[in-house]
Amino acid sequence: MTTLDPVTASALRRGWDAQQQPFLPWREEAFDVLAARAHGRVLDLAGGTGSIASRLADVTLLDFDPVLLEIARVALGVPVVRADLSGPGWVDGLPRFDSVVAGTALHHFGPDRLRALYAEIREVLAPGGLFANADRMPEPAAPATAPAVTAPAVTAPVADESASGGSAAMEAWRVWWEEALAHPALADAAADRADGDSADFYPPASWHVEALKSAGFAHVEVVWRRGDSAVVVAHRDPLI
Ligand SMILES: C[S@@+](CC[C@H](N)C(=O)[O-])C[C@H]1O[C@@H](n2cnc3c(N)ncnc32)[C@H](O)[C@@H]1O
């Protein structure tokens, strides 16, 4: 049986990062913000091939896709957990973490499931812990009668600003998957995977702030924004 080697796994990770950029403009900066906020023992939720985990020292990566998990495990040597976030069972058996991070991922879940997931994330946090989420969180357009606001021009580093990243991005995503699934060393993992649905739920940051507070987080704030991309940080307990 062929096993995945670290050089191939790292090349697949680089290809993943390249095809993911359009889906979250300023992705690298957003993930740097997540990593800078995270402390202690970290859980990278829906971590894919480990784009956020690669920035962290003490990290466990959770995802439901065996192909992505195998690439992350071999390339980064991080502990991985296979679990499905679409129901509450993913929490079972997990230790407590000081930080939970997620990037370009939680839009997979609709409003009801995401509210429940936020409460579950709080459950896996140790006292003093925090959750940080980077995703597209577009603000609603200002009403036509609103006074003009002067703000610095912000130009996203991608041509297509749609939430799907545009058709070129979708094609690059498709090609990456075609190549990964055809790799002999990933045949077992590929046979074991199932495509998941995405709700493509992209509410504004204010929705996330309210939902996180309703889930029991004591202090929630938007700590970073560029265009539609934003990072929300939620503290489990009141800040001292
Ligand atoms: C766009 S990728 C982002 C991955 C990684 N955070 C990154 O930014 O590169 C979305 C991730 O969510 C994971 N995912 C989607 N639905 C999931 C579910 N129900 N349970 C666990 N992971 C899920 C996918 O497998 C994929 O790794």
Which of 80, 108, 193 has most ligand 1 atoms within 8 Å of its beta carbon, as the pocket-test mutant?
Answer: 108
Residue 157 reports pLDDT greater than 70: no
CB distance 84 to ligand 1 below 6 Å: yes
CB distance 46 to ligand 1 below 6 Å: yes
What is the tens place of the pLDDT at every residue in 188-214?
999 999 888 899 999 999 999 999 999
> What is the pTM assigned to this prediction?
0.91
Residue 215 lies in a domain: yes
Residue 146 lies in a domain: no
Residue 144 lies in a domain: no
Residue 94 lies in a domain: yes
- Please state, as a whole number, how many other Cβ atoms lie within 10 Å of the Cβ of residue 138: 15
Which of 64, 106, 121, 192 has most ligand 1 atoms within 8 Å of its beta carbon, as the pocket-test mutant?
Answer: 64
CATH number, domain of 24, equals 3.40.50.150
Residue 231 reports pLDDT greater than 60: yes
DSSP assignment of 59-87: EEEEES-HHHHHHHHHHH---EEE--TTS
The whole-angstrom distance between residue 105's C-alpha and the CA centroid of its chain comes to 4
How far away, in angstroms, is 238 Cα from ligand 1 center? Answer: 30
Bridge pairing between strands 125-136 and 97-103: parallel
Residue 60 lies in a domain: yes
Alpha carbons 53 and 103: distance in angstroms, whole number: 10
Total of domains in the chain: 1
Domain around 82: 6-138+151-235
Residue 170 lies in a domain: yes
- Please state, rounded to an integer, the average pLDDT across all residues of the chain: 92
Tokens of 72: 């992350």
Residue 194 lies in a domain: yes
The burial of 33, by beta-carbon neighbours within 10 Å (0-12 exposed, 13-18 middle, 19 or more buried), is given as: buried
pLDDT on residue 141: 77
Ligand 1: atom nearest CA of 20 is 9
Q: What is the pLDDT confidence band of residue 123, given thresholds at 50, 70 and 90?
A: very high
